[in-house]
Amino acid sequence: LGIWKPVIPEFGNEGADRLAALVAHERRCGIQPDPIRRLAAVLPPDGDIAARVAQRLKLSRADRTRLVKAASPASHTDHRVDAYLDGTVAALDRLLLSGADQDAVEAAATFAVPKLPITGGALIERGLKPGPEVSERFARFGLMWAEAGFPYESAAIEQLIERALC
């Protein structure tokens, strides 16, 4: 009916359809409704638009970040890696907004991101000097570790460290 146009002009018919689909999907999956996720549903799936809306609505920094992540494409196709990179809430929001099957939503809702098996010190011990390069290689290791399925076996970790240093 256009009642949101003065506040959220980005909210169009497509947004109403996405919101209705999200509400139905949340119910099917037994997921509690969430206002930030639902706001993301009514907006076009675009992180820049979400950032402008969040600014205009004066959302908290945490809610602004969450809205932008929900409205942006997933960092990775595997929800576990997406959760590692952007957080479990963002991964779950994206799955629900995309209409992912119930098994994937349930898996994401219960997924806890594992703790990295090394610290930056492990890379420094391998000859890197403290600083930006350690941070870059550590981030590379983390992504490779997540993509490998979060292994904790020594041999797998050693192989990933070697690849991260290349």
| Residue range 108-128, pLDDT digits in tens | 999 999 999 999 999 999 999
Separation of alpha carbons 66 and 89, rounded Å: 8
Strands (E), the chain: none
Q: How many CA atoms lie within 13 A of 148 on its CB side?
A: 20
Decide if pLDDT at 1 tops 80: no
Separation of alpha carbons 121 and 59, rounded Å: 38
Q: Which 8-state DSSP code applies to residue 3?
A: T
Instruction: Encode pLDDT of 24-59 as tens digits.
Output: 999 999 999 999 999 999 999 999 999 999 999 999
User: What is the pLDDT of the chain when averaged over all its residues?
Assistant: 94
Structure confidence at residue 2 as a pLDDT band (50, 70, 90) = confident
Residue 25 φ then ψ, to 5°: -70, -40
Separation of alpha carbons 7 and 11, rounded Å: 9
Separation of alpha carbons 55 and 66, rounded Å: 13
pLDDT of residue 5: 80
Separation of alpha carbons 52 and 73, rounded Å: 17
The pLDDT of 81-85, averaged and rounded, is 96
Structure confidence at residue 11 as a pLDDT band (50, 70, 90) = confident
Q: How many CA atoms lie within 13 A of 81 on its CB side?
A: 17
Q: Which 8-state DSSP code applies to residue 75?
A: S
